[in-house]
Amino acid sequence: MSAVKELDTPAVTIRLDIMEDNIRRVQAHLAKHGIGNRPHIKTHKIPAIGKLQMQAGAMGITCQKIGEVEVFVDAGVADDILLTFNILGQAKTDRLMALCRRAPGLAVVLDNEVVARELSIAGARHGVDVRFLVECDTGFGRTGVQTPAAAFDLARLAARLPRMQFRGLMTFPNREPTTREFFERALALFKGAGMPVPVVSGGGTPALFTAQNIPMLTEHRAGTCVFNDVMVVSSGTATWDNCAMRVRATVVSRPTDGRAILDCGTKVLTSDQYGQKGFGHVLEYPEAVVGNLSEEHGIVDLSACAERPQVGEIVHVVPNHCCVVSNMVDELYGVRGEAVEVVWPVAARGRVR
């Protein structure tokens, strides 16, 4: 255990007290409303944190890539895993089938017939049953079938293919009222056909604390809420005190009175902006604007700051989007008080396939 003050910069630190409180609060909210908690591990990519979420009461986990599932199954974090990505190609379906054997609670989403047929063929090839959910676009405009009728048709088609087991419906993110309306109409179609829908899975951190307003949800998937970030604070569902991730950085230059340069740029904070004014929130100088980033430089506008930092000073930046920041570094530093309590390798970092 070393002292935080000896931690060289830039370093991505996690305030353990805050993270633990976030895990408890999310679990308590969803449990109170009888909604299963299936945290998305894309935010931390660290099995030890997944285990803390499971110990707090999570029903299972969510992964976005097969490589993430492999890391979390290897670490024994959970058997009940939802992989929320269309899986295509034999290289990937072979890996997926091997995982289905090892984690019988694994399910995967799909939104088109090509994926359904490839999964069925792979299941038959490997002698494995494939549990699937149909992904529904309930307003976000990314992946997912476009109508309740399309969800029903695809589910029925896929469920009739060899080795395919229909488990339910999934969307990202929850949007009101469109998500509720979409699921209401879809569930009526399934009920009319006598086809059970055991799982209705919603998602997203900003939607987490209102997930109970979509009464058919059986589970909710959220990632960011384990750490929180500028986006979540600006959505009104967290405060700076709930932000566990802080990028520890050094002021390496003060070229003008109104400008400071930090030793963290896009290769730590990333360019994710999401409509924010800058690229992060400097806790020690809340009026500062991280207005621009180069790859290794953070360019900070101090013009609104009464107090201004000196060269060599350490500051802490809450990033716009924490999920992408853990993916930029090889380790996260878990900090309590003045001590670095744990150094976590980001085990699933860079698992893009």
Give the binding site for its own copies (CB under 8 A): 6, 8-11, 42, 64-65, 85-86, 88-89, 91-92, 111-112, 114-115, 137, 141-146, 250, 252-256, 259, 261, 263-264, 266-268, 270-273, 292, 294-297, 299, 310-312, 323-324, 327-330, 350, 352-353
Minimum CB distance to its own copies smaller for 126 or for 297: 297
Q: Are strands 81-83 and 61-63 parallel, antiparallel or unpaired?
A: parallel
- Classify strands 298-301 and 259-262 as parallel, antiparallel or unpaired: antiparallel
Alpha helices in the chain (DSSP H): 16-32, 47-55, 66-74, 90-102, 113-126, 148-159, 178-192, 230-235, 322-325
- Give 29 or 223: the residue with its C-beta nearer to its own copies: 223
Largest CA distance in the chain: 71
Closest separation in Å from C-beta 243 to its own copies: 19
Nearer of residues 98 and 324 to its own copies, judged by Cβ: 324
Nearest Cα to 240, choosing from 283, 194, 295, 289?
283
Nearest-approach distance from CB 41 to its own copies, in angstroms: 12
CB 134 → its own copies: shortest distance, Å? 12
Q: 150 CB contacts (<8 Å, ≥6 apart)?
A: none
Residues facing residue 133 across a β-bridge: 109, 168
CB of 88 to its own copies, least distance (A): 6
Q: State the nearest-atom distance from the C-beta of 142 to its own copies, in Å.
A: 6
Give the C-alpha separation, 20 to 285, whole Å: 26
- Indicate the residue among 56 and 343 with the shorter CB distance to its own copies: 343
Sign of the Cα torsion 51, 69, 229, 6 reads positive
The CB-of-299 to its own copies minimum distance in angstroms stands at 6
Q: Name which of 29 and 321 has its Cβ closer to its own copies.
A: 321
Distance (Å) of CA 189 to CA 55, 149, 221: 37, 7, 24
Give 181's contacts (C-beta < 8 A, 6+ positions apart): none
Q: How far apart are CB 270 and its own copies at their closest, in Å?
A: 6
The contacts of residue 202 (CB under 8 Å, 6+ apart) are: 171, 172, 173, 174, 179, 211, 214, 217, 219, 220, 221
Nearer to its own copies, 11 or 35 (CB): 11
Rank residues 28 and 91 by Cβ distance to its own copies and give the closer one: 91
